[in-house]
Structure 1
Amino acid sequence: MSLETDRWSRHNFWGVVIDAPDVAVLARFYAQLRGWSIHRQDADWAALDAGEGVGYIAIQRNPDYVRPTWPSRPGAQQMMLHLDFEVTDLDAEVDRAVRLGATVADVQPQDDVRVLLDPAGHPFCLYTS
């Protein structure tokens, strides 16, 4: 049995599932952003493989998806969560994320963190420690 088969035959995975209007666009974005592979994908679902550990990110199609606002405003669509990714070179990784389709948010509350919006509008953070 290969290591990949061993990994995906486990039964202790946990993950985060993100709604999006277009599964392929968001799956490709996060796979390229993190250097992960897309384990499984169809028009309604994709699972991203970090290559180690037991966590994953999945994307599910939601035709009624509404982009959240950042920062939040009363009465506007709220974000349900955001993803944080540690990086070693913040400026270089922000530039790369933008080239992949992210947008830098107008509001930046910390010096060592950059809030970006993925192609579907979900806020996510790149940070250094």
Structure 2
Amino acid sequence: MRSRTSGMWWGTAIEAPDPAGLARFYAELLEWPIVHEEPGTAVVGPPQAGVYLVFQQATGYRPPAWPPHDGEQRPMMHLDFQVGDLDEAVAVAVASGATPAPVQPQENVRVLFDPAGHPFCLCREED
């Protein structure tokens, strides 16, 4: 039986004050190409078909607070990336423009902020 979603692409849309700049950050971080760009929208995708990250212009964008706290914009989602060498992955992310979060709740996970302030996690692969 054929799936209703076979042949379709899927992804998530992420708001940003500078969609093209944020797309360049994730393209460098993931070593994925920017597959589409137009005013107010940029899309990053893997070399093979799969999930896409769509970055869209957001007027009045406010970065989320992490860890969440009352009265501030809460993160409504975040991206997790599994990595083999956590220290190396953090160094690459920081060199690409990420900022480590001041609070790190787990030994095998590093929380960072992308250039627009979205939190994302680098998670060490379990042996």
User: Is structure 2 residue 66 aligned with structure 1 residue 94?
Assistant: no
What stretches of structure 2 of length at least 5 have no aligned partner?
Answer: 1-5
**Amino acid in structure 1 at the alignment position of 2:27:** A
Q: TM-score, normalised by structure 2?
A: 0.90
Q: CA offsets per residue over residues 18-65 of structure 1, 9 Å max, x none? A: 000001110000000000000001220011111224311110011211
Q: Which runs of 5+ in 1 are unaligned?
A: 1-9
Q: How does 1:18-57 map to 2 (within 5 A)?
A: 18-57=14-53
User: Could you tell me the TM-score, scaled by structure 1's length?
Assistant: 0.89
- 1:108 aligned partner: 104
2:88 equivalent to 1:78: no
Number of aligned positions between the proteins: 120
Residue 14 of structure 1 is matched in structure 2 by: 10
The structure richer in helix per residue is: 1
- CA displacement at 1:11 relative to structure 2: 4.4
State the percentage of identical aligned residues: 48
Partner secondary structure for residue 79 of structure 1: coil
**Which range moves more in the overlay, 40-49 or 19-28?**
40-49
TM superposition outliers: structure 1 runs of 4+ over 4 Å: none
For 1:20 and 1:63, locate their aligned partners in 2 and report how far apart those are by CA, in whole Å.
8
**Alpha-carbon separation, structure 2, partners of 1:11 and 1:65:** 33
Secondary structure of 1:106's aligned partner: coil
Distance in 1 separating the partners of 2:33 and 2:120: 19
